[in-house]
Structure 1
Amino acid sequence: MDHIRTSVGTPGQQPRTRRRFGVRGTAAAIATSALAAAVLTAGTGTAQAAPDAGLGYDPVADKGSLHNIAEVIGAHASYRAGYTGKGIGIALIDTGVTNVPGLHSGNVVDGADLSFDSQDPELAHLDAYGHGTHLASIIAGREAAGTTQNYQDPKRFTGIAPDATLVDVKVGASDGAVDVTQVIAAINWVVEHRNDHNIRVINLSYGTDSTQPSSVDPLAFAVENAWRNGVVVVVAGGNDGQSQLTLANPASDPYVLAVGAVDTKGTTSAVDDTVPEWSTRGSNTRHVDVVAPGVSVLGTRVPNGYADERNPTARVGDRFAKASGTSQAAAVASGAVALLLQQNPTLTPDQVKRQLMSTAMAFSSTDSKYRGNGTINVRTAQTKPVNKSGQSGQFWGSGTGSIEAARGTSHVHDGAAPLQGEVDIFGNAWDPQAYAAAVAAGTIWDGGTWRGVQLTGAAWESGAWPTVDWGQGTWTARTWRTDEWTARTWREGAWVARTWREGDWSARTWRDEAWSARTWRTADFAGTGWV
């Protein structure tokens, strides 16, 4: 197969040099990574009006259009009041961001690439999978830097916080593979560099099925540390539906904003809102805090990417794809948080969470275990008095639990063996006490070194964060730079036919027999890995 290397974007309008890569051949299922799952959906909009010639869909009639969603959650009213997310940084910890139209107007910057792809210069920072690009467009997409008035124009593609700075922190490889230690390192990195682009928000559409208590879990400890340092961590609740009554890890931690999905039916009233059957339910003691639109959401796609090629019926026009999931809902909520923080930058994470919860629109089709406090409305949150109180500190965790337990059933595989046990992606022993102490002290990162291993560059260079050679790190006999390792994903224009457990990706954590039809609706992709 040909290795497609096509420049993306409009000539003369490419502040980020990006390439897109075709993904052809057989699917390589080399991970059971629990990345909070998106759901590509085909033809599930509301009214079947004539599509807009420039977009390929009707932005007013289609319930999944960002124009419609922005109206539902009060974002248009925020724009009219002068708030577009300007000055607020949002770190997207995901599968990268590709410079497609809608994401090439100058408000997306390359942060650290901690993915396996970072060892291939042709894939570093790029999203060959498609999940991160879709979410980035929901959060901060725009055709061009504009005004509060033209951000309300239905003919222009506009994300929820179009003037926010989107910091691309890549952890997921071109086949989606990621280990929990990479996600932890990414969260730690954002805390270390939170002042570089005024990063006030982390979007984490990721979760594992770990049952380890958040009071000891190392992933939960990482998000709690971000929260303590003034960063609002928005986490997708998961797409497990009725299969269990616990949120994904770390959405289950009390010191995050856990977001579920809502089907708004395309109306601004919450009266007819419902929670999709696949949006993870919680318990009386811990459930999602709020819900946000997450059904058939229209965002940018990566042409010929992993998800795009396997879900052709999800494509809408030339540029977009529909996807459903708590990933998309979390992205909507992250944009709303940026609008709220621009209006009131002194808010603490506790206050942001309380403000969105207390002003959410409850609905009667289900109870709080399904919808939390209800559907968010950012303009209402901006105009209501702020409750200055904070959350109780009695539930802060220690971070001294098991890293293997944090993975749950999700394990990356290098073609020789899965990564298992109390080790990181380099096979180095995981010392929970040393980890927790370094995170608490703010010393877990030293320049480009995390836990004593050089993972990335040490400083911003020309507006982007450089990648480095990981050297000879390995958890099996294979090294990072050998053909055996790099062939596990995209190489020479094809996906390798190695599969994990002799099957395809699964519905909950990419691990069993087949993608569930309740997530990527073409029965090809699934559930609660990348949410």
Structure 2
Amino acid sequence: MTPRSPGRSRRAGAAVVASSALAAVVLTAAPASAAGSLGYDAAGDKGSLNNIARVVGAQDAYAAGVTGKGVGVALIDTGVTPVAGLTSGNLVNGPDLSFDSQNPDTAHVDGFGHGTHLASIIAGRDVAGSPTSYLDPTRFNGVAPDATLVNVKVGAGNGAVDVSQVIAGIDWVVEHADDKGLNIRVINLSYGTDSTQSSAVDPLAYAVENAWKHGIVVVVSGGNEGDSTKNLANPASDPNVLAVGAMDDAGTVGRDDDTVPSWSTKGTDARHVDVVAPGVSVLGLRNPGGYADVRNPQAVVGDRFARASGTSQAAAVVSGEVALLLQAFPKLTPDQVKLVITQSASGVTTSSAVMSGSGLIDVKKAQKLPKGTVPLAGAAAWGNGSGSLEASRGSSHVSTGTTELTGEVDVFGRAWDGAAWARATKDAKAWVDGNWRGLTLTGAGWSGSTWPTAPWTGSDWTGVSYASEQWSARTWRDESWAARTWRDDSWSARTWRSEGWA
């Protein structure tokens, strides 16, 4: 262990594919008398965000006037579709770096359904209101309803995405975090690869560490492989991020009945999840007609919602909690945030630390801890990003149907120079206007509330044009983002790291 640099507080100084997973869950619908206008019993259903907000202490924050206002959360995922609940003014489109970006009809929006579900957990809300209005169980809102949700799309409508696209998305967030109106303090990565390359050299690990050093808390899902692997997903395996596992709160605020589901990746004594959060049967917004929606009709609840289980959902809950904490204490560094989050968590008595880390997050306790200056936490040594891009992919590869993208090349087939990229991203110079590593991938500035897309001209890989239907994902830990295995009465996402939604 070596002392880490403190990292700057943004106020003081002013993402592969695969681990999470939207997993659909089949439960008996709430009786019509209890369902109300949302289509389910928000006060009694353990998967409702109203219940989750009570369990993790977020409602105590609302009562104290803290709702995440002024804090930006970058969701690097499959995009966000502006369905009801995500149209009240706190959603901003960053760049679309996915294969879908080349079609104006699919740019930015979520054809898969994963990103929309997570966005609603983090910062969804039907209407903006007073802090205490978010205590009302008849209205829908996420954990940090007034946070700014920045949509950075990397995954296509069929889940296809290369690790180099995720790295480019992280680089973009680092360089644009202080853009007017954004104040990005949190990155949510609800997926990962099955790479076992050391974090000391892995490029994806270096990208998230670089964000952390620039004052951004990186929240990553640990994976949904249960006993099938002891390794957390990459980059949750990096000790310098906030890794999240899933837990089942049984629908109660009390902690005695909390459990960790068998599919939440255990980790090892050396590296396991830092905390756990509700991730079973979570009711978030659905994307009607999307990839996951069509393939999991049993997950649909009412007209607007879908149930899903996974460490993806748990990570989204934690990202919302971090936004609440940073509104209340804007000068906290990422190290300090991690220390506060872990020290305020309540242990899960039915499981070991390898399964649950420090335990269930507790917003109420976390907001009581920072009195004056929170000390810096010790951390593992930083990486250098000099390792293999191919090794960072693990078994997660995109394919044209006949040829897989492999080797030390990015998604455009350009040679990967890890040392040169690491120097550039360290200095926040990997992007110059709309160019990443010298290639134009997006527009150079804002257009309304959307970062414009750009044609990827002259950058075909093996002669294949960049339209999403021509690319498929060989897994973010297998077949991409989809859960296809029934576990614990739920469609648990085995994911970008295992079977994905396929």
* TM-score for both structures, normalised by structure 2: 0.92
Which residue is equivalent to 1:131? 114
Q: What letter corresponds to residue 283 of structure 1 in structure 2?
A: T
Post-superposition Cα deviations, 1:360-404, rounded to whole Å, max 9, x if no partner, equal 011210110000000001111001245622233551001000000
Supply the distance in 2 between the matched residues of 1:163 and 1:44 (Cα, whole angstroms): 31
Distance 1:370 1:35, change over 3 A: closer
| Correspondence list, 1:420-431, <5 A | 420-431=406-417
* Secondary structure of the corresponding residue to residue 386 of structure 2: coil
Q: What letter corresponds to residue 369 of structure 1 in structure 2?
A: V
User: Is 2:9 aligned against 1:40?
Assistant: no
Supply the distance in 2 between the matched residues of 1:333 and 1:115 (Cα, whole angstroms): 25
Question: Contact between 1:472 and 1:479, CA under 8 Å: does it hold in 2?
Answer: no
Distance 1:239 1:526, change over 3 A: closer
Moved over 6 A (4+): 511-514
Supply the distance in 2 between the matched residues of 1:119 and 1:435 (Cα, whole angstroms): 25
Supply the distance in 1 between the matched residues of 2:91 and 2:134 (Cα, whole angstroms): 17
Q: CA deviation at 1:285?
A: 0.9
Which residue is equivalent to 2:390? 404
Q: What letter corresponds to residue 39 of structure 2 in structure 1?
A: G
Q: CA deviation at 1:421?
A: 0.3
Which residue is equivalent to 1:418? 404
Supply the distance in 1 between the matched residues of 2:380 and 2:128 (Cα, whole angstroms): 44
Supply the distance in 2 between the matched residues of 1:415 and 1:106 (Cα, whole angstroms): 39
- Among 454, 457, 471, the residue aligned to 1:471: 457
Supply the distance in 2 between the matched residues of 1:512 and 1:374 (Cα, whole angstroms): 26
* Secondary structure of the corresponding residue to residue 397 of structure 1: coil
Q: CA deviation at 1:348?
A: 0.4
Q: What letter corresponds to residue 317 of structure 1 in structure 2?
A: G
Q: What letter corresponds to residue 253 of structure 1 in structure 2?
A: D
Q: What letter corresponds to residue 41 of structure 1 in structure 2?
A: V
Which residue is equivalent to 1:518? 487
User: Is 2:208 aligned against 1:223?
Assistant: yes
Question: Contact between 1:238 and 1:280, CA under 8 Å: does it hold in 2?
Answer: yes
Distance 1:447 1:512, change over 3 A: closer
Which residue is equivalent to 2:251? 266
Provide structure 1 residue ranges, at least 5 long, that are not aligned to the other structure: 1-31, 490-498
Question: Contact between 1:110 and 1:167, CA under 8 Å: does it hold in 2?
Answer: yes
Aligned length: 481
Distance 1:62 1:87, change over 3 A: same
Supply the distance in 2 between the matched residues of 1:283 and 1:67 (Cα, whole angstroms): 33
Question: Contact between 1:516 and 1:527, CA under 8 Å: does it hold in 2?
Answer: no
Q: CA deviation at 1:255?
A: 1.1
Question: Contact between 2:281 and 2:490, CA under 8 Å: does it hold in 1?
Answer: no
| Correspondence list, 1:149-188, <5 A | 149-188=132-171
Which residue is equivalent to 1:441? 427
Which residue is equivalent to 2:478? 509
Question: Contact between 1:171 and 1:183, CA under 8 Å: does it hold in 2?
Answer: yes
* Secondary structure of the corresponding residue to residue 185 of structure 2: strand
Let me know the Cα RMSD of the aligned residues.
2.2
Supply the distance in 1 between the matched residues of 2:37 and 2:390 (Cα, whole angstroms): 48
Supply the distance in 2 between the matched residues of 1:99 and 1:514 (Cα, whole angstroms): 24
Which residue is equivalent to 2:495? 527
Post-superposition Cα deviations, 1:204-227, rounded to whole Å, max 9, x if no partner, equal 101000000001000000000000
Q: CA deviation at 1:437?
A: 1.0
Question: Contact between 2:158 and 2:468, CA under 8 Å: does it hold in 1?
Answer: no
Which residue is equivalent to 2:94? 111
Provide structure 2 residue ranges, at least 5 long, that are not aligned to the other structure: 1-15
Which residue is equivalent to 2:309? 324
Question: Contact between 2:111 and 2:290, CA under 8 Å: does it hold in 1?
Answer: yes
Which residue is equivalent to 1:13? none
* Secondary structure of the corresponding residue to residue 149 of structure 1: helix
User: Is 2:335 aligned against 1:350?
Assistant: yes
Supply the distance in 1 between the matched residues of 2:469 and 2:287 (Cα, whole angstroms): 21
Post-superposition Cα deviations, 1:151-193, rounded to whole Å, max 9, x if no partner, equal 0000000100000000000000000111000000000000000
Distance 1:291 1:44, change over 3 A: farther
Question: Contact between 2:186 and 2:219, CA under 8 Å: does it hold in 1?
Answer: yes
- Among 276, 280, 289, the residue aligned to 1:304: 289
Q: What letter corresponds to residue 321 of structure 2 in structure 1?
A: A
Distance 1:222 1:299, change over 3 A: same
Distance 1:527 1:461, change over 3 A: same
